[in-house]
Amino acid sequence: MLSYSEIVNPTDERVENILKAGEKHFKQFGFRKSSIGEICADAGISKPTFYKYFDRKETLFFAVIIYLRRDWYTTYMERIKGLSTATEKLSAFLEVSEEFLRVTPILTQSFIQSPGLYKSWAGHPLNIESYLASVDFVEKIIMDGIASDEFRVSDPRRTAHVIVLASTLFVIFEPQMPGTSKKSDASFLFDLLQHGIVKRH
């Protein structure tokens, strides 16, 4: 199986072609209606070549989610240009995470339509690597906030876990109420965090 880093930054052109074709088909048809044969045809490869890299359609779906994180990272790095405080950077992390999930229907729609898919994703090695990469990312922001005397956190690692989990679950599993207006989940979550981790002077 391909590693997390091989998927985020593929060096094999065939892998990138499969990921791009998978993204296209999953977005257009959803997980259940997408066909490995059609994805292979779109990627210009044979089925045996596909199975050299991915053992099943489910693994490709998870790999596509990882692959799309590159867009998230690029957006985040653009968003924090000119930001100097850890508080601002954490707020930007939450905003970009929410935007990424909301504009990537491949995630929410497929998980909602195929409940078993989420269960498999929760324990999949690719998800674990992706999740821990996010936790590392947030922990670094928290450590910077502690160093600059912005945050009061006794356990940065656990705090990072809570932030990453909450920022994902709020978007994927919150019922979408048509015609209602509310604060974004990122804004709401950050309001909560401010009462717990932002140091008051």
Please provide the CATH number assigned to the domain covering 4-196: 1.10.357.10
18-55 pLDDT tens trace: 999 999 998 888 888 899 999 999 999 999 999 999 99
Q: For residues 175 and 90, give the distance between their C-alpha atoms in angstroms, rounded to a whole number.
A: 25
Q: For residues 122 and 190, give the distance between their C-alpha atoms in angstroms, rounded to a whole number.
A: 25
Q: For residues 177 and 143, give the distance between their C-alpha atoms in angstroms, rounded to a whole number.
A: 37
Q: For residues 120 and 113, give the distance between their C-alpha atoms in angstroms, rounded to a whole number.
A: 14
What are the domain boundaries of the chain?
4-196
At 109, the pLDDT band (50, 70, 90 cuts) reads low
pLDDT value, residue 192:
73
